């Protein structure tokens, strides 16, 4: 069995659910030594979690605003994660 490690670019990352992206932001923050990167990764994950907790019983206008905020955080997570060495997709592959 081989382990393939691939650095993910933005196109690859777009296939992931935003909750997975938030988790990746946390992982980058956990392994990086740069305090700015740590703060940004944690902030993105926190924002995503916070927005998920907003009740769906809000007015239509409030829900649309929430959706815009969710989209904004997703785009910022994609930008943050795109091409980072700390984010790897590890996949086990059987040898032929």
The mean per-residue pLDDT over the stretch 9-23 comes to: 89
Q: What is the pLDDT of residue 56?
A: 76
Lowest mean pLDDT among 10-19, 49-58, 68-77: 49-58
The DSSP letter of residue 59 is -
**The model's pTM:** 0.79
Band the pLDDT of 71: cuts 50, 70, 90: very high
* Tokens coding 29: 């923050």
Q: What is the pLDDT of residue 7?
A: 67
Candidates 9, 24, 81, 76; CA nearest to 47 is 76
Q: What is the pLDDT of residue 87?
A: 59
Q: In sequence order, what are the beta bridge partners of 61?
A: none
């Amino acid at each position: 069995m081989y382990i393939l490690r691939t650095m993910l670019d933005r196109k690859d990352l777009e296939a992931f659910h935003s909750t997975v992206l938030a988790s990746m932001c946390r992982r980058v923050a956990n392994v990086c030594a740069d305090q700015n990167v740590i703060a940004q990764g944690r902030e993105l994950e926190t924002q995503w979690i916070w927005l998920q907790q907003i009740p769906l019983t809000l007015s239509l206008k409030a829900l649309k605003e929430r959706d815009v905020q969710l989209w904004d955080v997703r785009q910022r997570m994609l930008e943050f994660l795109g091409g980072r060495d700390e984010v790897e997709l590890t996949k086990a592959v059987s040898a032929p």
